[in-house]
Structure 1
């Protein structure tokens, strides 16, 4: 086994993907096993499915795969098993469609087949060193899961037509005022150039300023952008939510690092579970975000304060993007403590945006306060398929 560096460069096409794509900038991915990468990129369905099993197990909060336990849970109460493992993992680990499983799981003959399928699948994962002898996920298992996550999101971005866009926007709400131009939809009212707008109205003989008279300050990007991806890993995020948010994080890191920006990660629940300062090492980010598991409650204050310390002291654009599906639930007065932390971050020049996933009315109200204090934006999402697009939209706005 040897360590290799795979470089994706804008100077050449990457032909390993089913759809050719010219990558912008340079992305370096440190891989523990070059055979692993080769098998995934060659559309080895077995390797891809194995990666999905590990990745989905992590998203479901599993640290080990125990065949007898999984089998017993399915046979004893299939409805609960479906909640525990989700339909995708049940299909991958058993080889059967969940609906078929539900109809036949009480039949003794089928149970024998099912048990054998599960045992063989998990033994195969062990033989490939994706699991150890106790069924715990190994580093190689994490590596394959991260590749699976990466390939899935890249294919998703290609399908949506997102890859290939020019990411670096020269103009930004977060930059410095420069040229004057006509006001257009989406511009901030605070950037309106009052004197220039009045002059234009007078020049046109208008006794009142009309929309067509409005002029606004253009803003140039300040240069390097440092973003921290704040990922809520509370229990309610388990399953599809955490999976979708991980993929969006991969998309963000892919785009930002291509543009020579840096992306960090802070994973929060009742405490800070993991964090990495803004980095341009895509492989490192990918590996760490793959490991995220959902559990327990949500502490916004601790996360915001911790993230604030992760930014460099120099004059760069500093932005914290928080993904959450719930209100903060930790602390004596969690809402007030959260807003105090936001104010502290804003005082350090850090902007804060929030992506609220199916937030209730109370949650949306707090989120609005957070982005107002943090000079950021609020994105309310009902459809999980929109998460990566919104994450990239927020990056474009900052960039």
Structure 2
């Protein structure tokens, strides 16, 4: 009998105090933003991933990796030419994971034997067969470009891998909560002037019985202590310059998924700015998780870094509402775009702070000059500086900054 592992979502059933009400009329409500499109092809891909279809998962990982490496087109002839003529350069262009997946051999073994004619023929056939299968599955177009179906599958992989990671690490809600009349129900407290709807009938009766009171007195009454987390709009500014290519970019995307998932789950808004030499893509703060996810999936690395323009763009994107406004800048280098990139950046930070926006910087292996500028940014922006040397901890760092707000 064949067994297959399936991903299961378990809901925590809590005992809730409630009032019985008579429902006289019903009406249709709108679907929540971010709901996956009901498309047959998309549904099949979702089912494959959720049911741990190994082949589909590997295909999704391959496409996601190719995007992170900046590969827009799968051309067997070009890949083979690079592998034979200069393996070291080919590994820099494609990355070890893609070479392994398309050749069906470990990268070290390919490098060692690529000059052997018989081995070249086998490698060529393997690459052609694997690319052809991706085309048959409509993950690549006839020309070898990644299709919308391929993008969707890779976004599912990005989401499920990071969600599994969050569950494994057990990240939770650590933010300080303030008293609020209309906030979330927390524990119960003794009665004080409050709305009658906040009275916990069950806890009140239990208290009276425990005290052996035949009638409920004022001291027996328990009310729900409501807490408000405060509304938060947060923008994730992701450096997609050339130096972020590969694992850095891939891990940064996963960290963005973690931030979006947690913040939107907690009724806050998340936006996204993808920057290089210019603003490549921008999503205003919203509750649409799928929009954020698919934008993250599509990010490719380019050339220079323009932090000043990113900060200016964030000022435009935040609303005028009274709420916490926070920008997280993730970068691995100094700004390099413009005549005076550093002074332009500091000026933009000052303008943002005057607009009520705080700024934190997550620096990936910054050099001394980069760290010096980052410290000035967070000092003026009244945020925090995180120096990351271990990419595996990036999502934890981003959530730590989010929960500090």
**Counterpart position of 2:323:** 316
Query: Per-residue CA shift, 1:316-340, capped at 9, x if unaligned?
Result: 1100000000000011111110000
- CA separation in 2, counterparts of 1:298 and 1:314? 30
Tell me by how many angstroms 1:63 deviates: 1.1
Check conservation: 1:251, 1:388, Cα contact below 8 A: yes
- SS of the residue corresponding to residue 292 of structure 1 reads coil
Show structure 2 runs of 5+ residues with no match: 14-31, 180-226
Establish whether residue 34 from structure 1 lines up as the match of residue 40 from structure 2. Answer: no
Offset of residue 142 of structure 1: 0.6
Give 2:366's aligned residue.
Answer: 359
2:359 counterpart of 1:349: no
Shift of 1:122: 0.8
Does residue 121 in structure 1 map to residue 130 in structure 2?
Answer: yes
Decide whether aligned partners of structure 1 residues 27 and 94 sit closer, same or farther in structure 2, where only a CA change above 3 A counts.
farther
Whether contact under 8 Å (1:248, 1:387) holds in the other structure is yes
The Cα of 1:21 is off from its aligned counterpart by 5.0
Deviations 1:188-207 (A, max 9, x none): xxxxxxxxxxxxxxxxxxxx
The residue that corresponds to 2:281 in the other structure is 274
Take 2:364 and 2:318, find their aligned partners in 1: how far apart are those partners?
A: 26
| Map 1:102-181 → 2, pairs under 5 A | 102-162=111-171, 165-166=172-173, 168-170=175-177
Taking structure 1 as reference, are residues 23 and 321 closer, same or farther at Cα in structure 2, changes over 3 Å only?
farther
Match of 1:198 in 2: none
Whole-angstrom distance in 2 between the partners of 1:143 and 1:272: 23
> Counterparts of 1:87 and 1:312 in 2: how far apart (Å)?
43
Secondary structure at the aligned position of 1:329 is classed as coil
1:350 Cα shift?
Answer: 0.5
Output the CA distance in 1 between the equivalents of 2:243 and 2:11: 37
Q: What residue in structure 2 maps to residue 245 of structure 1? A: 252
Question: In 2 relative to 1, CA 107–171 (structure 1 residues): closer, same or farther, beyond 3 Å?
Answer: farther
Partner of 1:91 in structure 2?
100
Secondary structure of residue in 2 paired with 1:309 = helix
Corresponding residue number in structure 2 for 1:262:
269
Deviation string 1:43-67 (CA, Å, 9 cap, x unpaired) is: 0011001111111000011111111
| Compared CA separation, residues 369 and 17, structure 1 to 2 (3 A) | farther
Cα distance in 2 between the residues matched to 1:30 and 1:18? 17
Provide, for residues 276-333 of structure 1, a one-character-per-residue CA deviation record: whole Å limited to 9, x for no partner.
Answer: 0011111111000100000100011111100111111110110000000000001111
Q: Which has the larger radius of gyration?
A: 2
Task: Using the TM superposition, name which of 138-147 and 90-99 deviates more.
Answer: 90-99
Q: How many pairs does the alignment contain?
A: 333
Q: Does 1:74 align with 2:83?
A: yes
**Corresponding position of 1:293:** 300
Q: Report Cα offsets for 1:164-222 as digits up to 9, x if no partner.
A: x23554169xxxxxxxxxxxxxxxxxxxxxxxxxxxxxxxxxxxxxxxxxxxxxxx966
Residue 267 of structure 1 aligns to a residue whose secondary structure is strand
C-alpha displacement of 1:91: 1.2
227, 234, 239: which one aligns with 2:234: 227
Corresponding residue for residue 207 of structure 1: none
CA distance in 2, matches of 1:154, 1:169: 24
1:326 paired with 2:333, answer yes
| C-alpha distance in structure 1 between counterparts of 2:51 and 2:314, whole Å | 38
For residue 23 of structure 1, report the CA deviation from its aligned partner: 8.7
TM-align CA RMSD: 1.9
Displacement of 1:154 after TM fit?
1.2
What is the CA distance between 1:93 and its match in structure 2? 1.8
1: CA distance, partners of 2:101 / 2:153: 15
Question: How far has the Cα of 1:349 moved from its partner?
Answer: 0.4
Residues 86 and 269 of structure 1, relative CA distance in 2, 3 Å threshold: same
The corresponding residue for 2:74 is 65
Q: Distance in 1 between matches of 2:57 and 2:348?
A: 42
Q: Distance in 2 between matches of 1:151 and 1:290?
A: 13
Rounded to whole Å, the distance in 2 between the matches of 1:246 and 1:232 is: 11
- Unaligned 5+ residue runs, structure 1? 1-15, 173-219
1:368 corresponds, among 360, 370, 375, to: 375
Give the alignment's TM-score, normalised by structure 1: 0.80
